[in-house]
């Protein structure tokens, strides 16, 4: 309760007291009783009531979020050119009054859901894209009255600014912006750009009507049932195509893996064969070298000894014919002349 309200309440109480005392005075006069003290009391109460009523009518208290337009009979245009700000003010009683406006932020919502917006029922914005598709937009705009332009707002719109300014400006901005884009752009790459264009258009429209936009929210974009079904079928087809592509890629990877394995096996076989051939060459070279060394170490006596040992390892006695040194001829170790 502010001081202006307190004065008005006190004035009301004094007026009630005045009427009561005045009535009692008339009763006493009718009965022939003395009214000297009551007459003075009536005059005091009357003067106090008039004074308090005058003061109460001249005091105006505005809350922290309120500004007021002073309607004045003393001004040529009928109002003061400057609005009143928050706090306690004095106006000319009975000749001036104040129309207060809240400058706090307000939210205006237009949505599909019942009871969510300012209008009951489906209040979404119906718009058409440049390719003829019908879309439904849920949106909210946060705005406030510009205190510096409150006088102009009062002259032009009074309390009708929400229905006559905010609502039509927002709906028109959304329809105009949507018409510049295709439906595919709205749902994918250009949604942010769309929201920015709508926000700029609303800001200009409200500013031209003495309002300030704080924020714009593009809450939802809904499509017609036919288009929604078409989009769903397209998504299913794209998913199927993607799945088929993944299968093909998997088969390619499997084939490549099999080729890599086969190539590895072939390379291993080549390496193994080359290793075996190199081993045989090394072995042959070693045998040749060993034979060379062995050939250099052979003598006639050694060959005869080895011949006898190999001839009969278990023979203990040998009968040799007379005139012949050996039973069998020894191998010829001489090299024929070239």
Per residue of the chain (338 residues), what is the pLDDT tens digit? Answer: 577 788 788 888 988 988 888 888 888 777 777 666 777 888 888 888 888 888 888 888 999 999 999 999 888 888 899 999 999 898 998 898 999 999 999 999 999 887 787 788 888 899 998 888 889 999 999 999 999 999 999 999 998 999 999 999 999 999 999 999 988 888 778 888 999 999 999 999 999 999 999 999 998 888 877 666 666 566 656 677 777 787 788 888 888 888 888 888 878 887 888 888 777 878 878 777 877 776 776 666 666 666 666 665 565 555 555 555 555 555 555 555 55
- Domain boundary among the residues 101, 135, 158 is at 101
> Crossing angle for the helix pair 191-207 and 167-178, nearest 10 degrees?
140
Token code pair at residue 80: 């003061």
For residues 84 and 70, the answer to whether their CB atoms sit within 8 Å is yes
Which region holds residue 60: left if phi is over 0, alpha if psi is between -120 and 50, else beta?
Answer: beta
pLDDT of residue 7: 77
pLDDT of amino acid 55: 84
One domain, residues 263 and 218: no
- Note whether 72 and 48 are within 8 A (CB): no
Residue 236, pLDDT score: 58
- Number of Cβ within 10 Å of residue 245's Cβ equals 10
Closest CA to 68 of 39, 89, 51: 89
In a domain, 326, yes or no: no
State CA 37 to chain mean position distance: 80
Domain with 285 in it:
228-316
Asked whether residue 233 falls in the same domain as residue 217, the answer is no
Rounded (10°) angle between helices 3-31 and 36-58: 160
Secondary structure class of 64 (helix, strand, coil)? coil
Q: In the beta sheet, which residues pair with residue 110? A: 139
Residues 216 and 246 in one domain: no
Q: What is the pLDDT of residue 290?
A: 73
- 112 shares its domain with 186: yes
Q: For the whole model, what pTM was predicted? A: 0.61
User: Residue holding tokens 């258009």?
Assistant: 201
The answer to whether position 291 is within a domain reads: yes
The enclosing domain of 142 has a CATH number of 3.30.479.30
| Total domains in the fold of the chain | 3
Cβ atoms 194, 178 nearer than 8 A? yes
Residue 146: name the closest of 137, 138, 156 by CA.
156
Looking at the structure, do residues 125 and 24 belong to the same domain, yes or no? no
123 and 86, same domain (yes or no): no
What distance in Å separates the CA atoms of residue 203 and residue 216, rounded to the nearest whole number?
Answer: 9
Q: Please tell me whether residues 27 and 97 are part of one structural domain.
A: yes
Q: Do residue 238 and residue 211 come from a single domain?
A: no
The pLDDT assigned to 101 comes to 95
Answer yes or no: are the C-beta atoms of 108 and 165 closer than 8 Å: no
Three-state secondary structure call for residue 75: coil
Question: Pairing state of beta strands 134-145 and 106-110?
Answer: antiparallel
Residue 325 located in a structural domain: no
Q: 254: burial class by Cβ within 10 Å (0-12, 13-18, 19+)?
A: exposed
Any domain includes 332: no
276 part of a folded domain: yes
Helices (H), the chain: 3-31, 36-58, 150-156, 161, 167-178, 183-187, 191-207, 225-297, 300-311
Residues 251 and 189 in one domain: no
CA-to-CA separations, 263 to 106, 182, 260, in angstroms, rounded: 74, 53, 5
Q: Is residue 321 part of a domain?
A: no
Q: Is 8 found in the same domain as 90?
A: yes
Q: Is 338 within a domain?
A: no
Residues 218 and 275 grouped into a single domain = no
Which residues lie closer than 8 Å to 206 by C-beta, 6 or more apart?
143, 165, 166, 169, 212, 213
Q: Are 153 and 83 in contact (CB under 8 A)?
A: no
32 assigned to some structural domain: yes
Cα angle: 216, vertex 221, 227; to 5 degrees? 160
- In this structure, the number of other CB atoms found within 10 A of the CB of residue 266 comes to 10
């Amino acid at each position: 309760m502010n001081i202006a309200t307190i004065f008005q309440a006190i004035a009301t109480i004094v007026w009630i007291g005045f009427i009561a005392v005045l009535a009692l005075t008339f009763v006493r006069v009718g009965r022939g009783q003395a009214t000297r003290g009551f007459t003075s009391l009536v005059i005091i109460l009357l003067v106090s009531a008039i004074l308090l009523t005058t003061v109460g009518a001249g005091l105006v208290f505005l809350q922290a979020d309120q500004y007021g337009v002073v309607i004045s009979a003393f001004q040529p245009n009928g109002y003061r050119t400057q609005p009143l700000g928050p706090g306690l003010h004095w106006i000319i009683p009975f000749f001036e009054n104040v129309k207060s406006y809240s400058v706090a932020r307000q939210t205006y919502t237009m949505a599909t859901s019942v009871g969510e917006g300012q209008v009951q029922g489906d209040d979404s914005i119906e718009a058409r894209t440049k390719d003829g598709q019908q879309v439904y937009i849920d949106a909210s705009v946060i705005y406030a009255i510009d205190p510096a332009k409150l006088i102009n707002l009062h002259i032009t719109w009074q309390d009708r600014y929400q229905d006559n300014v905010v609502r039509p400006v927002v709906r028109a901005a959304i329809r105009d912006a949507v018409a510049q884009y295709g439906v595919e752009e709205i749902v994918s790459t250009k949604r942010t750009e769309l929201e920015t264009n709508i926000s700029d258009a609303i800001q200009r429209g409200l500013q031209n009507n003495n309002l300030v936009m704080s924020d714009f929210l593009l809450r939802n974009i809904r499509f017609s049932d036919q288009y929604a079904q078409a989009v769903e079928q397209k998504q299913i087809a794209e998913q199927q195509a993607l799945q088929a592509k993944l299968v093909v890629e998997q088969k390619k990877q499997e084939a490549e893996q099999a080729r890599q394995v086969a190539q590895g096996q072939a390379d291993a076989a080549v390496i193994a064969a080359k290793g075996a051939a190199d081993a045989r060459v090394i072995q042959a070279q070693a045998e040749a070298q060993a034979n060379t060394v062995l050939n250099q170490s052979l003598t006639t006596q050694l060959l005869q000894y080895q011949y006898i040992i190999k001839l009969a390892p278990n023979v203990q006695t040998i009968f040799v014919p007379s005139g012949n040194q050996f039973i069998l001829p020894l191998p010829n170790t001489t090299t024929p002349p070239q």
